[in-house]
Structure 1
Amino acid sequence: MKSYHLDPQRGLAGLTVRDHDEPVPGRGQVVVKVRASSLGSRDLAVLAGAYPLPIRPGVVPGCEGVGEVVAVGEGVGRVRAGDRVAATVFPRWLDGPFVWDNAAQLGTMVDGMLTEYAVLGEDGVVPVPEHLSFEEAATLPLAAVTAWNALTTGSALRPGATVLTLGSGAVSLFVLQLAKLSGAQVIMTTSSAAKAERLKALGADDVINYRDDPAWWQEVRARTHGAGVDRVVDATGPLEQSLKCVAADGEVAFVGYSLSGAEGARPIDPATLFGAGAAVYRIATGSRAHFVALNRAVEAHRLRPVLDRVFPFEHVADAFRYVESGGGFGKVVISHD
């Protein structure tokens, strides 16, 4: 079998392929023949050594992957050989709030999914929705679980509620799809007219071009008749603008911020934070319980993710370069077949 390995802070020069014997599961473990995985901006940060979590030298990168169970170890009762499963990004985070004890993450602290066979704990996998292909299912573990967590943490999302999600990246696309299932009105920001049209075709009720309107929070206020939105899913920043356009007693799901510029990480004026009157939640992907609940919704509504491009396993470096180039729309997937 072959696996990719990573020496952090060296970029693509630190990405190598190694040969290994096929693994044997230990007690409580399963071996998964990986059929598809996916990449995103998180993986670029890991590649550059700029990710917030520790990165073990030589780790197998990639936190999103799905496949078929081919062997089970002693004591495994949750899954069996032949099951189609997805790996959870945080294998130890089963439920409840995120704590440091659960921070071991695939592709940074422990070996990830850019491999032909992965050894995972039985608690670290969940069933794949039956209607999805492996390539489609590979888009779920990070972006979709993050979107689900962002929409379900705090108060319940009521029909008719207004949701603002920033950008047209993978998390925001899943926020759009999932929020519409709840009957919400969804406003999105994006950088081009072409992307705005695609977002509207997917169901966005309103789209604001942040290049045309750098102070886009004012547009959000205007388009909600001054009330602001009930929930903001902020995956890019600047957080200050999210706080200025959220409704009183609304909620901001703070997913992250752009690492490419200073604006996204700019300090917040305490007066802005106080004046917002909103709850701010830090969203760290999600737990196994979040993933299981997401999959129930995906299966019940036959939701299909938005795929951008699929690269073969042998061309992972090209996939990284494509993600880095920007301008895509949807998830970038690696086919391991």
Structure 2
Amino acid sequence: MPERSRERAITVCVENGEARLSMRDVALPPLGPREVRVRTAAVALNYRDIAMMSGKSIDRPGRAYIPFSDACGIVEAVGDGVTQWQPGDRVCSLFFPEWIAGSLSPESRRPLGAGRDGVGQTAFAAAEQALVAAPPHLSAIEAATLPCAGLTAWNAVMYSGVAQPGSVVLVQGTGGVSLFALQFAKMAGAAVLVTSSSDAKLQQARMLGADGGINYRDNSEWSLRALSMTDGRGLDLVIEVGGAGTFAESLKAIRLGGAISVVGMLSGAVEPIDIRHIYGKNARIRGITVGSREMFEAMNRALVQHQMHPVVGHVLPWEEADAAMEAMQRGDIVGKIVLDFGVA
């Protein structure tokens, strides 16, 4: 592949507090020791990208930046000292490039597409350790969905300590994290309930293996329905993506000693909470911030073993990033939205 000196990048420009997407040329710097250059094949979008642009995320820089954290691509060149990768390898980006194993630390909490430029460009450089091999049975479009949504769901479900045969897991909605969580919970042998405002989406979730659904527009206090569906026992685990407006219901719906994995705030970040439901239920509440490279590799082994495929709802050419962001904002697509960079 011929060497290029410049690439194209999607850029978020912030002016007077307002953010907009544009395209620009970017220089292609030389690789440093133990660095790898990746030719981008696909990039998946996350709600976090909307939160960044809208200013809801505290991580949004005050300067222009290259967005997005989730990519699959092909290794194009390697710097001195690189031993793990060679040109032609298919790899995925790591949301937290320095979070290799163990617990997240202040030093490793530096995600792509925030304090540093992201992967929304035709080629990007990464440290050797900041890449993970893409599962061979997945297309680049599918593999691009793994770094944030896939790994977040894996952490939320598989590290909860309760997802197992005989347990009941509830996932909220049919977005990327929720559908991954549905698939992983079924992989663990659990029964899965899904909430949605759409009966059509609930039917799609059943086709993916959900054991039951709750339309929260018809059941505003959906915790009562969840309790009824578990014979009054309550849920073992809730994958909490809503935040304000849903967290209180999650607390009411779990069993004694049940768990809540908090992964998002789609409906808001602030809500009054009756503390009695936390200690009264002996609730175990975990905040989930994606996961480490070690978790990513464990997830990939399970994906290969079970030949599991992510749910991709919509694919657009990467030049249509604006339209992709609008589609995500509308929330009418089941599964992940992915940008195709046209690299085989």
TM-score category of the 2 structures, normalised to the smaller one: over 0.9
Matched, 1:273 2:278: yes
Alignment match, 1:85: 91
1:101 is matched with which residue: 107, 110, 116? 107
Alignment match, 1:116: 122
Q: Is the 8 A contact 1:9 1:48 kept in 2?
A: no
Q: Count residues with an aligned counterpart.
A: 334
State the Cα RMSD in Å. Answer: 1.6
Alignment match, 1:239: 247
Matched, 1:137 2:143: yes
- Can you list the C-alpha shifts for 1:78-112, whole angstroms capped at 9, x where unaligned? 21111100001110111111222111110111111
Matched, 1:204 2:210: yes
Q: Is the 8 A contact 2:162 2:237 kept in 1?
A: no
Alignment match, 2:4: none
Structure 2 unmatched ranges of 5 or more: 1-6
- Can you list the C-alpha shifts for 1:260-296, whole angstroms capped at 9, x where unaligned? 45xx621211112111212111100111111111111
C-alpha distance 276-8 of structure 1, shift in aligned 2 (>3 A)? farther
Alignment match, 2:327: 322
C-alpha distance 302-225 of structure 1, shift in aligned 2 (>3 A)? same
Q: How far did 1:177 drift?
A: 0.7
C-alpha distance 39-13 of structure 1, shift in aligned 2 (>3 A)? same
- Can you list the C-alpha shifts for 1:46-87, whole angstroms capped at 9, x where unaligned? 111221324252221001111001111111112111110000
Q: Percentage identity across aligned positions?
A: 37
- After TM superposition, the score normalised by the length of structure 2 is 0.93
C-alpha distance 178-10 of structure 1, shift in aligned 2 (>3 A)? farther
Pairing 1:219-298 to 2, within 5 Å after superposition: 219-237=225-243, 238-258=246-266, 260-261=267-268, 265-298=270-303
- After TM superposition, the score normalised by the length of structure 1 is 0.95
Q: Is the 8 A contact 1:6 1:58 kept in 2?
A: yes
Matched to 1:324, the amino acid is Q
Matched to 1:234, the amino acid is E
Q: How far did 1:14 drift?
A: 2.7
Is the partner of 2:166 in helix, strand or coil?
coil
In structure 2, what is the Cα distance between the partners aligned to 1:104 and 1:34?
21
Alignment match, 1:161: 167
Matched to 2:262, the amino acid is F
In structure 2, what is the Cα distance between the partners aligned to 1:86 and 1:20?
21
C-alpha distance 240-25 of structure 1, shift in aligned 2 (>3 A)? same
In structure 1, what is the Cα distance between the partners aligned to 2:183 and 2:59?
29
In structure 2, what is the Cα distance between the partners aligned to 1:9 and 1:332?
27
1:125 is matched with which residue: 128, 131, 142? 131
In structure 2, what is the Cα distance between the partners aligned to 1:90 and 1:212?
39
In structure 2, what is the Cα distance between the partners aligned to 1:52 and 1:221?
36
Moved more, 317-326 or 14-23: 14-23
C-alpha distance 15-175 of structure 1, shift in aligned 2 (>3 A)? same
C-alpha distance 321-274 of structure 1, shift in aligned 2 (>3 A)? same
Q: How far did 1:155 drift?
A: 1.6
Matched to 1:291, the amino acid is F
Structure 1 unmatched ranges of 5 or more: none
